[in-house]
Amino acid sequence: MARKKLIAANWKMYKTPDEAKAFFAEFLPLVAAHTRDEIAIFPSPVLLPTVIDAAKGSKISVGAQNIHFADEGAYTGETSIGQLKAIGGTHTLIGHSERRQYFAETDEIVNKKLHAALKHCIVPIVCIGEVLEEREAGKTAEVLKKQVTGAFAGITPEAAAPIVIAYEPVWAIGTGKTATPEMAAEAHAIVRAEVAKILGAPVANAMRILYGGSVKPDNASALLNQAEIDGALVGGASLKADSFKAIVTY
Ligand code: 13P
């Protein structure tokens, strides 16, 4: 069965509520008739209510860039999955490389968050990817396998259906350097094989693996036309309605 592609916008720490509203006013008419792919937007937490409201009545899903794994508690600055759900959020990123790099997120934390998201029926996008030194040292496969194994510890095939993976080579994020479609497809195949080892081939074959890292309107179609690439996680080029629309409609 063909995997429906998911094109996701990670807005990172950009935009005010007014800017988010302006984006939607421009973006919604551009994709109103687009049903081929799923679209999801991940704004920073303060924008979530505005963006969820703006997306109402459309097919666009809205999610958090990060969630805490605890149901509630004394965790200053954090957002729980229950809070995300209560306002209508349906998805979350987990383990983005910027969370791993700047906020010390480990595979163990990623694993706890993945369990929490599945428990609460929130669609998790688990982000993995190697840094430049690891790629240059020929360690890409090893790193990806370790990240997948760590993230998926204790996850059963029965529970795994909602999981999406995003392969984002860290050296390609925000740098303008993109993995070639062949490099990305090769990494995706490694990841899918590892998922198959852990959860079985049927789960692995159904799981969507997105590519992220300097996806732009001019490289989107080459990447997204690879059979192994099931969508994109887009940073910079998702901030403007026209460029994100061009990627969505690659
Ligand atoms: P850029 O598209 O800006 O490289 O960001 C990619 C990314 O980190 C998406 O999560």
pTM of the predicted protein model = 0.97
Domain that holds residue 93: 6-32+39-248
Residue-wise pLDDT tens for the chain (250 aa)?
689 999 999 999 999 999 999 999 999 999 999 999 999 999 999 999 999 999 999 999 999 999 999 999 999 999 999 999 999 999 999 999 999 999 999 999 999 999 999 999 999 999 999 999 999 999 999 999 999 999 999 999 999 999 999 999 999 998 888 889 999 999 999 999 999 999 999 999 999 999 999 999 999 999 999 999 999 999 999 999 999 999 999 9
State in Å: Cα 173 to ligand 1 middle: 5
Does 1 reside within a domain? no
| Residue 91 annotated among the catalytic residues of the structure | no
pLDDT of residue 166: 98
Does 162 reside within a domain? yes
Does 178 reside within a domain? yes
Q: Is the CB of 10 under 6 A from ligand 1?
A: yes
Does 185 reside within a domain? yes
Nearest CA to ligand 1 atom 5: 235
- The CATH number for 211's domain is 3.20.20.70
pLDDT of residue 2: 84
Does 175 reside within a domain? yes
State in Å: Cα 248 to ligand 1 middle: 15
* Structural domains counted in the chain: 1
Separation of alpha carbons 229 and 212, rounded Å: 10
Does 21 reside within a domain? yes
Burial class from Cβ neighbours inside 10 Å (0-12, 13-18, 19+) for residue 246 reads middle
| Residue 96 annotated among the catalytic residues of the structure | yes
Separation of alpha carbons 100 and 113, rounded Å: 13
pLDDT of residue 223: 95
Does 69 reside within a domain? yes
pLDDT digits (tens, 9 = 90+) for 159-172: 999 999 999 999 99
